Amino acid sequence: MPQDEFVVTPWEVSGRVDYDKLIERFGTERVDEKLLKRMEKYGPLHPMLKRGIFYSHRDMHWILDEYEKGNKFFLYTGRGPSGDVHLGHLLPWILTKYFQDIFGVHLYFQITDDEKFLFKEDLTLRETERLSYENMYDIMAVGLNPELTHFIVDTKCIRMMYPIALEVAKRITFSTVKATFGFDESFNIGMIFYTSMQSVPCFLPSVLAGVNIPCLIPCGIDQDPHFRLTRDIASKLGFFKPALLHNKLLPALTGEEKMSSSSPYSAIYMRDEDPIVKKKIMNAFTGGRVSVEEQRRFGGNPDICSVFAYYTYMFEYDDRKLSEIREGCKSGSLLCGECKLNLYKKVKSFMDEHRKRRESAKGIVEDLILRD
Amino acid sequence: MPQDEFVVTPWEVSGRVDYDKLIERFGTERVDEKLLKRMEKYGPLHPMLKRGIFYSHRDMHWILDEYEKGNKFFLYTGRGPSGDVHLGHLLPWILTKYFQDIFGVHLYFQITDDEKFLFKEDLTLRETERLSYENMYDIMAVGLNPELTHFIVDTKCIRMMYPIALEVAKRITFSTVKATFGFDESFNIGMIFYTSMQSVPCFLPSVLAGVNIPCLIPCGIDQDPHFRLTRDIASKLGFFKPALLHNKLLPALTGEEKMSSSSPYSAIYMRDEDPIVKKKIMNAFTGGRVSVEEQRRFGGNPDICSVFAYYTYMFEYDDRKLSEIREGCKSGSLLCGECKLNLYKKVKSFMDEHRKRRESAKGIVEDLILRD
């Protein structure tokens, strides 16, 4: 693959992702000043919006138009329970919580246990069920409002979902799936069918309510291909097209393009113990110089630094303080060791809070699963 | 397609079917004297067995071996609710009833409403639901024992079925489906997934019982491709391979190769009124001569006659009487008009009984659908 090429699908991110090119390739719109100004009316802008981490969208203006007409949207996002949750997974969930709080809207959170079973050779349905619960605890731990949160666990909610999935599946051919996801004939027939299941939550709340409700999906940009298909057929089924708001993926601590479970030091998992978290951060790839002396003299480069990215994405939402870190780095007054240790303290306190909220989620998750 | 070529899949029967060649092509075994002798031990042989209408099988000896060891099998057959039931559909159901009576075993009857919705462009889920009930009344009207009959309606029983369908789907690729059914890339992703759903009833009773139970499927030979796939993966999933007993398809009254809803005179539908039934029989394609005179002189040919086929398959189970009809035809003493009228009387009395039993089925069908 040439240097400037890269692949982004729900199951593969490879090459160096050019997020600007992705907007062209997927045909989405940029989150611009005009949209941000408009959103500011509803509450203080979330730093991930202001900082361009949620940088691309489809139909956000329409969602706000409808909202202003009194036609509230619902939120939809999801998680494939294939293993432990890491910090990067939390980005859309945190923004989803922000929207839930600001707009007071319902959230339908899909747990795609069928997907992960079908796509991971060694995964059993017994294991995906266990992981589903483990992951739902992490999801609730971001502080979602249980009064407004409904889990759609595919294998548990299939009776409600299947008729809608059939309506979707009837309108998508193998050719389309092949072109959209890069599948070939060696893919199993469950994988091929699966995208219909990811469409269902876009429409299910409308079916349950008996009236069309706009849908807003905050998600990683890698999930967009599913919803392009959904949008193509929504009106054929008599529903609104879902709107989307896409985030860039959290950079890997190791400087690689993507966090991955095959490279455990690339990501911080919510189940990591403090010493592991510390070790991962202290070993992170930075924009620092080869020696303390050089760093003091020439300064570092925050723009390529994974530690600075962590501050930007999640751990320093005070703009003034973030700017101090940036300037300290560039001037050489802030050394990597100190900067990492500061980050570790922030991450540790975040993790402590998360663990506490995760424990209290255990008693309530079962009741949040959507029932027939 | 050359004269000697023909296609038989669950969705297409075309060309002149050579049932002997089909045994070779599908790799099944012939129902031979040895098997018939063995089956006679359990009760009088059903005429459809004796007459070679159920002519092909897979693993029938194994089913009987297991039965003799005290390991009872269950029966599984099915119906795609795409329209009205005709007499030809009844063949496997009648044999299934015979087995249910002789062996006292449970029957799981699948109603594949999802399949028909996916394969028929204009069919809605609302309509397949209506047809499912209409068809279940016809199914019970063959005299199945309600104490031993369980309907599996795909969209209604999906919560139990989906985990098993996923296990199946994970082990079948698009290549395999393409080779087995002749699908191409223009097929919708629901069609591609569907065969996993038809596998499920082979395993569901074992899952529910927590112990492996042998499965016997009486069905039209056109359904065999589904179960070849099922048999290929059964042991990977830890189940027995299902056994099968295949029937030839009832010939069309019009002399065409296949009964079809696009040619309404080709088949007698269970909802046809008596005058329509009579008209269809009186217009049927026969082995008669062009004039009464010629018929008296040279006799007719029962071997190509659709009326004689109806006697053989369903309406004259007394071998002596069937032989009288054959000889009367060949000698020219029995003319087509009389022979057709006699058939009509038999069909009418069969239909009268069917209509009565169909009415009484209406109150009980709902309770026979398998529930979580």
- Give first-to-last CA distance, chain B, whole Å: 48
Give the tokens for residue A251. 């950079």
Strands (E), chain A: 6-9, 12-15, 29-30, 54-58, 74-79, 107-111, 149-153, 215-220, 243-247
Q: Within 13 Å, how many C-alpha atoms sit on residue B312's CB side?
A: 20
Q: Is the CB of residue A266 less than 8 Å from the CB of residue A251?
A: no
Q: What is the pLDDT of residue A96?
A: 98
Residues of A in contact with B169 (CB under 8 A): 118, 188-190, 193
Query: Domain for residue A1, yes or no?
Result: no
Q: At A241, which CATH number?
A: 3.40.50.620
CB within 8 Å of B44: residues ≥ 6 apart: none
Instruction: Convert the pLDDT of each residue in A58-69 to its tens digit.
Output: 999 999 999 999
Instruction: Convert the pLDDT of each residue in A86-112 to its tens digit.
Output: 999 999 999 999 999 999 999 999 999
Chain A residue nearest residue B187, CA to CA = A173
Amino acid type, B338 = E
Q: What is the pLDDT of residue B264?
A: 84
**Strands A6-9 and A12-15, sheet pairing:** antiparallel
Residue B342 burial class via C-beta count within 10 angstroms: exposed 0-12, middle 13-18, buried 19 and up: middle
Of A125, A158, A193, nearest to B189 by CB-CB distance is: A193
Indicate yes or no: CB of A190 within 8 angstroms of CB of B193.
yes
- Based on the fold, state whether residues A245 and A298 are members of the same structural domain: no
C-alpha–C-alpha distance, residues B255 and B306, integer Å? 6
Indicate yes or no: CB of A177 within 8 angstroms of CB of B189.
yes
- Based on the fold, state whether residues B234 and B309 are members of the same structural domain: no
- Based on the fold, state whether residues B189 and B293 are members of the same structural domain: no
Distance from CA of B186 to the nearest CA of A (A): 5
Where b means 16+ CB within 10 Å and e means fewer, A224-239 reads: bbbbebbbebbeebeb
- Based on the fold, state whether residues B232 and B274 are members of the same structural domain: no
Residues of A in contact with B117 (CB under 8 A): 166, 170
Structural domain boundaries enclosing A320: 264-358
Residue A1 pLDDT > 60: no
DSSP reduced 3-state for A67 = helix
- Based on the fold, state whether residues A304 and A193 are members of the same structural domain: no
C-alpha–C-alpha distance, residues A306 and A302, integer Å? 8
Query: Domain for residue B370, yes or no?
Result: no
Gyration radius of chain A's alpha carbons: 21
Residue the block writes with tokens 């104490």: B147
Q: What is the crossing angle of helices A336-361 and A319-331, to 10°? A: 150
Residue B263 pLDDT > 90: no
CA B184 to chain centre: 27
- Split at pLDDT 50, 70, 90, the class of B32 is very high
Q: Which helix (H) or strand (E) holds B107?
A: strand B107-111
Q: Which helix (H) or strand (E) holds B150?
A: strand B149-153
Q: Is the CB of residue B84 less than 8 Å from the CB of residue B61?
A: no
How many other C-beta atoms can be found within 10 angstroms of the C-beta atom of residue B90?
22
CA A365 to chain centre: 20
- Split at pLDDT 50, 70, 90, the class of A13 is confident
Query: Domain for residue A259, yes or no?
Result: no
Q: At A310, which CATH number?
A: 1.10.240.10
Query: Domain for residue A320, yes or no?
Result: yes
Q: What is the pLDDT of residue A2?
A: 55
Name beta bridge partners: B244.
B58, B217
Examine the fold and report which residue of B182, B215, B249 is the final residue of a domain before the chain moves on.
B249
Give the tokens for residue B253. 């009254």
Q: Within 13 Å, how many C-alpha atoms sit on residue A195's CB side?
A: 31
- Give first-to-last CA distance, chain A, whole Å: 48
Of B158, B163, B185, nearest to A162 by CB-CB distance is: B158
C-alpha–C-alpha distance, residues A336 and A288, integer Å? 6
Indicate yes or no: CB of B162 within 8 angstroms of CB of A163.
no
Q: Which long-range contacts (CB under 8 A, 24 or more apart) does A13-16 make?
A: A13/A222, A13/A249, A13/A257, A13/A258, A14/A257, A14/A258, A15/A257, A16/A257
Of B170, B177, B195, nearest to A118 by CB-CB distance is: B170
Name beta bridge partners: A155.
none
CB within 8 Å of B40: residues ≥ 6 apart: none
Residue B11 pLDDT > 60: yes
Where b means 16+ CB within 10 Å and e means fewer, A192-203 reads: bbbbbbbbbbbb
Chain A residue nearest residue B192, CA to CA = A189
Indicate yes or no: CB of A173 within 8 angstroms of CB of B195.
no
- Please give the C-alpha separations between residue B68 and each of A268, B61, B63, B194, B239, in angstroms, as whole numbers: 60, 10, 9, 35, 20
Distance from CA of A355 to the nearest CA of B (A): 32
- Based on the fold, state whether residues B217 and B335 are members of the same structural domain: no
C-alpha–C-alpha distance, residues A124 and A128, integer Å? 6
Query: Domain for residue B180, yes or no?
Result: yes
Examine the fold and report which residue of A214, A249, A284 is the final residue of a domain before the chain moves on.
A249
Q: What is the pLDDT of residue B83?
A: 85
Domain count, chain A: 2
Of B178, B183, B190, nearest to A169 by CB-CB distance is: B190
Of B118, B162, B174, nearest to A174 by CB-CB distance is: B174
- Split at pLDDT 50, 70, 90, the class of B2 is low
- Based on the fold, state whether residues A102 and A46 are members of the same structural domain: yes
Amino acid type, B200 = V
Task: Tell me phi and psi for residue A355, to 5 degrees.
Answer: -60, -40
- Based on the fold, state whether residues B175 and B115 are members of the same structural domain: yes
Query: Domain for residue B11, yes or no?
Result: yes
Instruction: Convert the pLDDT of each residue in A291-332 to its tens digit.
Output: 999 999 999 999 999 999 999 999 999 999 999 999 999 999
Q: Is the CB of residue B142 less than 8 Å from the CB of residue B90?
A: yes
Q: What is the pLDDT of residue B256?
A: 76
Angle at A240 (CA atoms; ends A238, A246), nearest 5 degrees: 145
- A interface toward B at CB cutoff 8 Å? 114, 117-118, 125, 155-156, 158-159, 162-163, 165-167, 169-175, 177-178, 183-190, 192-193, 195-196
Q: What is the pLDDT of residue A3?
A: 53
Instruction: Convert the pLDDT of each residue in A19-59 to its tens digit.
Output: 999 999 999 999 999 999 999 999 999 999 999 999 999 99
C-alpha–C-alpha distance, residues B338 and A296, integer Å? 112
Query: Domain for residue A366, yes or no?
Result: no
- Split at pLDDT 50, 70, 90, the class of B3 is low
Of A155, A185, A195, nearest to B162 by CB-CB distance is: A155
**Strands B107-111 and B149-153, sheet pairing:** parallel
Give the tokens for residue B250. 């009832």
Instruction: Convert the pLDDT of each residue in B264-313 to its tens digit.
Output: 899 999 999 999 999 999 999 999 998 999 999 999 999 999 999 999 99
Residue A255 pLDDT > 90: no
Residue B335 pLDDT > 90: yes
Residue A261 pLDDT > 80: no
- B interface toward A at CB cutoff 8 Å? 114, 117-118, 125, 155-156, 158-159, 162-163, 165-167, 169-175, 177-178, 183-190, 192-193, 195-196
Average pLDDT of chain B, as a whole number:
95
- Based on the fold, state whether residues B234 and B209 are members of the same structural domain: yes
Instruction: Convert the pLDDT of each residue in B51-86 to its tens digit.
Output: 999 999 999 999 999 999 999 999 999 999 988 899
- Based on the fold, state whether residues B35 and B151 are members of the same structural domain: yes
- Please give the C-alpha separations between residue B274 and each of B142, B344, B345, in angstroms, as whole numbers: 19, 9, 10
- Based on the fold, state whether residues A294 and A202 are members of the same structural domain: no
Query: Domain for residue A368, yes or no?
Result: no
H-only helix segments in A104-236: 113-119, 125-140, 154-169, 174-181, 189-209, 224-234
Indicate yes or no: CB of B166 within 8 angstroms of CB of A190.
yes
Q: Within 13 Å, how many C-alpha atoms sit on residue B293's CB side?
A: 0
Distance from CA of A246 to the nearest CA of B (A): 27
Q: What is the pLDDT of residue B340?
A: 97
Gyration radius of chain B's alpha carbons: 21
- Based on the fold, state whether residues A224 and A297 are members of the same structural domain: no
Average pLDDT over residues A136-144: 98
Of A125, A158, A170, nearest to B188 by CB-CB distance is: A170
Total residues belonging to chain B? 372
Residue the block writes with tokens 């807003």: A216
Q: Which helix (H) or strand (E) holds A344?
A: helix A336-361
Examine the fold and report which residue of B249, B277, B307 is the final residue of a domain before the chain moves on.
B249
